[in-house]
Each structure stands twice: as structure tokens, then as C-alpha cells.
Structure 1
Amino acid sequence: MRLPLLLPLLLAACAAPPSGGTGGCDGRIQLRNASSLAVEQLYVSTAGPADWGRDLLAPGHLPAGATQTVMARSGLNAVRVVFANGRAAEMAGMDVCANPILTVLPNGLQAGR
């Protein structure tokens, strides 16, 4: 009978986190400023533009060329950065767990690993 041999494998498969899930994801984002301007504000929200919430850089900012770690909710989020000159860049659908590095570019935002 093969059932006793398969049972441990079936139980292990049930206990494994689903692919693309948040298994082990704590919402940490590494924010990299690859633009020539300081980033004055950062918003990360599951609700997106409907409710940006609080500025994750307050009371500080992220100078050009600098990197900082911030905490957000794990999963899909919308992201908004506001530069020192008042210009803003936004990104919808950033999966913080799949792509925890957010690079601020001169012409927008790029999520990656």
C-alpha cells in the first residue's frame, strides 16, 4: 500500500506557502533614489490614491543617490513619491513581497528584486 509513503508528501505540500504569497514577507521596502533630486515624501497604500495615508519618510527625506529601508504592508500596493521640486511619480500594483526594491528614477519608479 502506497498511501503511508505519500501521506508525508501530501502534508508537506499543504503546509507550504502558496507561490506568490507573502510567506516570510514583512513588508520591508528598500528605497533607492537614483534620481538627481531629493525625495521629500513617500506613500505606500493598499488603497492607492483613494487614501495615501502617512508619509513614510517624515520627518526626513531621501537625498539623491541615497538608500533607505521603509516598512509597508505586504502584498500589492500603490506607491507615490514627491520630489523636492514638487513633482510626483506614482506606481500602481507594486508587489512588495515579489519586488521589495523600489528605485526612484529621473522619469518614474521601478520595482525589482
Structure 2
Amino acid sequence: MRRRLFLVAFAAASVFGSTGAFAQAQQNFSLINRTGFQINEVYVSPSASNSWGRDILGDGVMPSGTRRNITFPQRTRACMFDLRIVYEDGDRSEAREINLCEVSNVTLTFTGRATRFSYD
């Protein structure tokens, strides 16, 4: 019975596309670096987590003026995430409680002495 219910739910999702609860689980976003500085590390973790997890840039970096698409496994259901940026000089900036189910772009700028996170 459970298997049949799962198949019905899967078929409904295929027919109706990304609507309702299925659309709410879409956390993919673009990270845009307009800070004027190179970013060496990026961490994205669910707000409920006590761990940052791994650096999603791996061995790569994000020079200023670049965009990086951040994707999540489809099984991810959380919407609220925290973001940590580590610059080339080791300085860090963090944003908390970003609703990635409603945000497509996170743009980083540097004003004065602080990183500004903008969402759209």
C-alpha cells in the first residue's frame, strides 16, 4: 500500500509539475560576488544545523564579478539556510535565516567595512 501511495504521489508530481509542496522545496540559487574581493570558501547549511559542513567551492575560488550556481539534492526539504563567506584574507561574513525557497539570487557587495547580502 505504501509503495502504491508513493507511486501515485510521484505520478501526480510528474503531471502537475513543480506546484504546491514540491515547489516549496526548491532551494537552488545563484551566488553573485560583487564585493571587489576574492572569496575562497562558501558554506551553506540549514539554519537548524550546528555545523557548517564542507566548503562548497572545494578547491575553487570566486573572484569578484563572478556568479556560482548552488544546487541542492532534490531530497532537501528545509527552506531556511545560513551562509558563511570566507575571503582570501581570512575575513568572514555570515547571513542567517535566508529563505532559499523564495530566493533565486544572493548578491554580495562590500560597503565601507562590511559585506552586504541582497536577496531576490
Does TM, normalized by the shorter one, top 0.5? Answer: yes
Unpaired segments of 5 or more residues in structure 2?
1-18
- Once the two structures are TM-superposed, the CA of residue 47 in structure 1 deviates from its matched residue by 4.3
Q: Aligned AA for 1:45?
A: S
Q: Separation in 1 of the partners of 2:22 and 2:93?
A: 26
Aligned residues of 2:47 and 2:80 also touching (Cα < 8 A): no
Mapped to 2, the partners of 1:41 and 1:53 lie a distance apart of 12
Question: After the TM superposition, which residues 64-75 of structure 1 pair with which residues of structure 2 at under 5 Å, given as runs?
Answer: 64-72=64-72, 73=76, 75=79
Structure 1 consecutive aligned stretches of length 4 or more whose deviation exceeds 4 Å = none
Please say which structure displays the higher CA radius of gyration. Answer: 1
Partner of residue 108 from structure 1, selected from 98, 115, 120: 115
| Partner secondary structure for residue 81 of structure 2 | strand
Q: Structure 1 residue 49: deviation in Å? A: 7.1
1:88 aligns with one of 71, 86, 92: 92
AA partner of residue 75 (structure 1): C
Count the aligned residue pairs: 95
The aligned amino acid for 2:65 is G
The percentage of counterpart residues that share the same residue type is 20
Deviation (angstroms), 1:69:
0.5
Aligned partner of residue 89 in structure 2, secondary structure: coil
Cα deviation code 1:58-77 (max 9, x no counterpart): 11010011111012455100
- Counterpart in 1 of 2:62? 62
SS of residue paired to 1:23: helix
How far has the Cα of 1:24 moved from its partner? 5.9
Aligned-partner Cα distance in 2 for 1:43–1:28 = 14
Distance 1:89 1:69, change over 3 A: same
